[in-house]
Amino acid sequence: MKQLIDRLAELYEVLPGFWDIFGTWHAATLETKKGVLAAMRLKVGSAEDIEQEIRAKETGQWKSFLAPVHVIAEHEQPLAVPVFIPVEKGGEGGLSVSFAMDDEEGRSDEVLLSGDALSMDGEMVIDGKRYVRTLLTDTARRPMGYYTLTVTVRNGAGSSGTLWKKAKVIIAPETCYLPENICESGLWGLAVNLYAIRSGRNWGVGDFTDLGELCRHVAAMNGSFVGLNPLHAIPNTRPYGLSPYSPISRLFRNVIYLDVEAVEDVAESAAARAAMDDRSFRTALNELRHASLLDYEKVASLKMSILRHAFRHFHDMSYVSDTARGREFRAYLETEGETLRSFGLYLELREHFMRTENVYAWQDWPAAYRGHEQDAVRQFRHDHDLEILFHSYVQWLLDKQLADVQAACCSAGMNVGLYHDLAVGAIGGGSDIWMYQDVAGGADVGAPPDDFNPNGQNWGFPALIPEKLRETGYELFIETLRQNMRHGGALRIDHALGLFRLFWIPSGMSPKQGGYVRQPARDLLRIIALESRRNRTIVIAEDLGTIDEEFREMLQRFRVFSYRLLYFERNYPDPSFKLPGQYVPTALCAVTTHDLPTLYGYWEGHDIAVKGRIGIYADDDAREQDRAARQRDRGLLLSALRQENLLPDGFPEDPAMVPHMTPLLCSSIYRYLARTSCRMALVSLDDVIGTMDQQNLPGTVDQHPNWVQRTPLTLEAIFSDDRFRGLKEVFRERSGK
């Protein structure tokens, strides 16, 4: 049994083990391999089952006739595609094969091969049937893009009849997009948690109008981009539905970011205006604006209530009429297609079953509604057509406002504009997995135990089965990239290690029992490069942690930027901080992220105190070790700043004499970052305004105010704050202005 499991695991690229951050090898157990294989929907209950799966895998390509997708680089042309044809002995002589390549505009080239033009370069007999392999070679060198390949094998003497099949061909560029000027001078930008923005006019959460104002001020200070938290659609429910990194969909956006008052239909709808003038509405809005923490549910509810009034007005006055605005919406529906309709259908079903059954995830809905092609779902779609259209309307408004912000960034001279963030995956009970159940496996994605998380991590995202992704022509992956590169000049890919290998945790197992599965990295990176070029989007890979150097080298070859944090850029095993000239040029550098302490919190050990207070440390010794290491690091950071002459004369050398972070010290640290070789530098707004608490404390849910903290200053106060306005001087040399 072990040998059979090992062989099947090898065929499906379940890795035999992994090295942890301490250099210790962890071999995947028999139970882990078996669990991962079962999560791929393979039968592993008996030796006979496993033997059949091995046989099916080893012979699969011969029996498939034509693989569903082919991803090649431009330089690998002309395209050569293997085709596997069932024939009887001697029957190949009468075969004729034609293939057509259709581009995205529907233009087609057809080639007919027969006789001597057909070269057979292999054969196999499977279950008494003979298969031959021939290589079809394209006649042209084609531009990058997506193509549909149709192969037809026509009857010949002794053949098995006429066969035909379609496949997707993806011709990708060698590298991702990079603007020409990025290699001439470094760019800098501001990182903001948009949900946290407090302003005098928003509804208790930062919105796209606030974002536009931020971008305008950053552009005025010669900044090139504004980095955002993921804008993905999330449940907006406490306590598990608040993280922007745990979306129900990575294809669509969260309604909380819409500036409702800027919607044309809201201004024109008498019902919407009356609802906003209602005393109870004004009271609720006032409470949201003055609340110390963000209330996602109330914000979403308030915005949706007004948008429903606006939609009724829009539907009656624009959608059913031939107005410019109605035509614009219809064009959006046409472009987004069935994916948008299915998302709206999911939301309406989710609302229905939350109301009638008090259940959230689609796995808990009545069985007749768990698949979007089932009869009951079709009937529901028919019966709730207008409500489903409403959800499409909301996404259209979000898309329009975000597009306007990016257009304003470009008009203001920003080189990049909006810098978006792509979460690792979508939660199991969300719409993406509901729509693409065929590609989701029976395991969650996570991380093995490490020094930060001794029990490992389960992120709650279903692992996508590589074989199933290929079978669909990488449809979900492509669409996810397109949606997140649109209306932006840069995209950060969270947990970039996942492009190469993903840690699977089979259902019913703990993270300690998980194992790694190799991913089709070359295909994925080529698709990223293609979408990057098409959307003119810089790609940044969050490559922190135990990512192999060969993976980093591959990212570099594709001109995917690395992601380097001051906290971790050390001369290991020496803990001293790297000097600016030692940083990798093809990278974005920053001090911290949402999952790590702010600069003010880091300097004062606030994060250590919080973790100690809520019981994250195993014992007092562990906490004291962190305190000692932090005291050491403060001294090392002062030493690095002093080497760069970034501290004024007389500034204390002993970190104990600098117990608190100051604006001067914060500015010096960012001047240090501005001097690095990295082509992009990112400043955290939380650092600029002196925030102590980090946005998220990994390993906690409600013990820490994750994702709900609001900025201590309003946007208006931030714009007039000397610390904010001083960023122009901090990065003057980098921006060249």
Residue 450's pLDDT is 77
The alpha-carbon radius of gyration of the chain (Å, integer) is 28
- pLDDT of 112 strictly over 90: no
Three-state secondary structure call for residue 575:
coil
- CATH fold for the domain made of 180-561+679-735: TIM Barrel (3.20.20)
Output the six-digit token pair for 299. 């914000």
Residue with the two structure tokens 């529901």: 380
- pLDDT of 265 strictly over 60: yes
Q: What are phi and psi for residue 124, nearest 5 degrees?
A: -155, 145
Three-state secondary structure call for residue 415:
coil
Output the six-digit token pair for 371. 């698949």
Residue 93's pLDDT is 61
Mean pLDDT value across the chain: 94
Residue 46's pLDDT is 95
For 290-337, the DSSP string reads H-SB--HHHHHHHHHHHHHHHHHHHIIIIITTT-HHHHHHHHHHHHHH
Output the six-digit token pair for 180. 């020409």
Residue 113's pLDDT is 73
Tell me the CA distances in angstroms from 334 to 321, 328, 498, 543, one per residue in order. 17, 10, 33, 37
Residue 659's pLDDT is 95
Amino acid identity for residue 24 in this structure? T
Tell me the CA distances in angstroms from 182 to 186, 188, 227, 587, 730, one per residue in order. 6, 11, 17, 11, 19
DSSP state of 260: G
Strand order in the sheet with 457-464: 457-464, 440-447, 501-506, 515-518
**Model confidence band, residue 183 (pLDDT cutoffs 50, 70, 90):** low
Three-state secondary structure call for residue 624:
helix
**Model confidence band, residue 158 (pLDDT cutoffs 50, 70, 90):** very low
Residues 6 or more apart whose Cβ sits within 8 Å of residue 335: none
Residue 117's pLDDT is 64
* Nearest by Cα to 441 from 499, 494, 505: 505
Instruction: Please give the Cα distance from 149 to 165 (Å, whole number).
Output: 8
Instruction: Please give the Cα distance from 4 to 6 (Å, whole number).
Output: 5
Three-state secondary structure call for residue 491:
strand
Instruction: Please give the Cα distance from 105 to 128 (Å, whole number).
Output: 43
Mean pLDDT value across residues 491-510: 96
In the chain, what percentage of residues exceed pLDDT 90?
86
**Model confidence band, residue 162 (pLDDT cutoffs 50, 70, 90):** confident
Output the six-digit token pair for 340. 């948008």
Residue 157's pLDDT is 46
Three-state secondary structure call for residue 10:
helix
Instruction: Please give the Cα distance from 213 to 262 (Å, whole number).
Output: 14
Mean pLDDT value across residues 642-651: 96
Residue with the two structure tokens 């600016």: 580
pLDDT in tens, 140-149: 899 999 999 9
For 64-75, the DSSP string reads HSS-SEEEEEGG
Three-state secondary structure call for residue 722:
helix
Output the six-digit token pair for 229. 């938290």
Output the six-digit token pair for 697. 């404390």
Instruction: Please give the Cα distance from 444 to 235 (Å, whole number).
Output: 19
Residues 6 or more apart whose Cβ sits within 8 Å of residue 500: 518, 519, 521, 547, 548, 551, 554
* Nearest by Cα to 66 from 122, 135, 13, 116: 135
Does residue 573 have a cis peptide bond before it, meaning omega lies within 30 degrees of 0?
A: yes
Residue 110's pLDDT is 85
Residue 230's pLDDT is 98
69-73 and 163-172 beta bridge pairing: parallel
* Nearest by Cα to 99 from 181, 165, 156: 165
| Burial (0-12, 13-18, 19+ Cβ within 10 Å), 442 | middle
pLDDT in tens, 340-397: 999 999 999 999 999 999 999 999 999 999 999 999 999 999 999 999 999 999 999 9
Delimit the CATH 2.60.40 region(s) of the chain: 65-172
pLDDT in tens, 583-629: 999 999 999 999 999 999 999 999 999 999 999 888 999 999 999 99
Opening angle at CA 115, ends 110 and 118, nearest 5:
65
Beta bridge pairs of residue 726? none
pLDDT in tens, 539-550: 999 998 778 888
Residue 348's pLDDT is 98
Instruction: Please give the Cα distance from 154 to 97 (Å, whole number).
Output: 6
In the chain, what percentage of residues exceed pLDDT 70?
97
Instruction: Please give the Cα distance from 63 to 59 (Å, whole number).
Output: 6
* Nearest by Cα to 65 from 133, 156, 113, 114: 133
Q: Looking at 541-619, list the stretches that DSSP marks H as alpha helix, in order from N- to C-terminal side.
A: 549-557, 599-604, 606-613
- pLDDT of 660 strictly over 60: yes
Beta bridge pairs of residue 232? 253
Q: Give this prediction's pTM.
A: 0.96
Instruction: Please give the Cα distance from 368 to 330 (Å, whole number).
Output: 31
Residue with the two structure tokens 């006429």: 162
Delimit the CATH 3.20.20.80 region(s) of the chain: 180-561+679-735
Residue with the two structure tokens 């603007």: 179
* Nearest by Cα to 708 from 295, 301, 197: 295
Q: Which residue has the higher pLDDT, 304 or 109?
A: 304
Instruction: Please give the Cα distance from 307 to 329 (Å, whole number).
Output: 15
- CATH fold for the domain made of 65-172: Immunoglobulin-like (2.60.40)
